[in-house]
Amino acid sequence: MSLIMRVLALDTATQACTLALWEGGAVRVRHEIQARAHNRHILAMLRDVLDGQPLQDAVDLIACGTGPGSFTGLRVAVSVAQGLAWSQELPVQGFCSLTAQVFSAADSGKLTDGVSVLSTIDAQIDKLYGQWGRWCESHFVPEGEPFVCSPEEIPVPSEMDHAVVLGSGGNYWSRFPDWLRNGSRVDEEITPNAAVMARLFGTGRLPVESVPAHRLSPQYVQRDIGWKKLSEQGQRG
């Protein structure tokens, strides 16, 4: 696919509801922490980033975070992306929300070249989603597939010096294995940022492998994960 100049990006896999429209060098973005309220805010936020433009006149590609993450959050982003794409016959581009967090951290100047990265999202069931990789020459090189596990059972990467742990899974820092906590640092506030992803796809820094709307689907790392009702999850610090 040729260079895309107008990209609408969105992600609701975490506590952040984030949307952005990249148009030839300019970006309009709405990024809010709206835990468990994405479905109530996302369409109003979409109207804001479109700024009165009809969708068909403003967008060439819809880029959507597919998780892993909140079950309901994933469905919100994917269903909105599919609905918009179907209405105007637009292509869609899925991206991993864990990878998006790495690019968000790098855009904020929080990663150095060659550093090991563990991107995490709190699964809200006493477990976390994770993805190991390394930040090299402005690219994220993942190691293996995204996983879900308890904080004590985080897998050991094939090689690691000190690591940067990103995302809400860092809430479990005190329960991480000693080999990970020793010498590593954590940034729990990092979330996917739609402005960063829209720019990366819009400028061609990330390859576009778009698909029809019906092929976009949430990334469920583990289907039989034993979801708890909100009343069963308890208080989170």
Q: Kindly list the distances between the CA atom of residue 30 and the CA atoms of 41, 46, 61, 63, 214, in Å, as whole numbers in the listed order.
A: 10, 8, 18, 15, 26
Say what the pLDDT of residue 222 is.
67
Are 149 and 163 part of one and the same domain?
yes
Give domain status of residue 51, yes or no.
yes
Say what the pLDDT of residue 71 is.
87
- Which three-class secondary structure state does DSSP give residue 170? helix
Cis peptide before 192 (omega within 30 of 0): no
Mean pLDDT of the chain: 91
- Which three-class secondary structure state does DSSP give residue 30? strand
Give domain status of residue 1, yes or no.
no
Give domain status of residue 102, yes or no.
no
Say what the pLDDT of residue 134 is.
96
Give domain status of residue 126, yes or no.
yes
What is the pLDDT averaged over residues 193-207?
A: 96
Tell me the per-residue pLDDT of 13-70, one tens digit each, with 9 for 90 and over: 999 999 999 998 899 999 999 877 888 899 999 999 999 999 999 999 999 999 999 8
**CATH number, residue 27:** 3.30.420.40
Are 147 and 169 part of one and the same domain?
yes
Give domain status of residue 145, yes or no.
yes
Give domain status of residue 82, yes or no.
yes
Give 80-111 as a DSSP string.
HHHHHHHHHT--EEEE-HHHHHHHHHHHTT--
Tell me the per-residue pLDDT of 92-104, one tens digit each, with 9 for 90 and over: 999 999 999 999 9
Top pLDDT among 129 and 226 is at: 129
CB distance 8 to 28 below 8 Å: no
What domain range includes position 127? 110-187
d(CA 201, CA 9) in angstroms, rounded, equals: 9
Are 92 and 10 part of one and the same domain?
yes
Are 13 and 61 part of one and the same domain?
yes
Q: Is the pLDDT of residue 91 over 80?
A: yes
Say what the pLDDT of residue 229 is.
40
Are 157 and 207 part of one and the same domain?
no
d(CA 159, CA 145) in angstroms, rounded, equals: 16
**Contacting residues for 182 by C-beta, under 8 A, at least 6 apart:** none
Tell me the per-residue pLDDT of 133-170, one tens digit each, with 9 for 90 and over: 999 999 999 999 999 999 999 999 988 878 999 999 99
What is the pLDDT averaged over residues 220-230?
A: 53
Are 126 and 73 part of one and the same domain?
no
Are 124 and 165 part of one and the same domain?
yes
Q: Is the pLDDT of residue 237 over 70?
A: no
User: For the chain, what is the domain count?
Assistant: 2
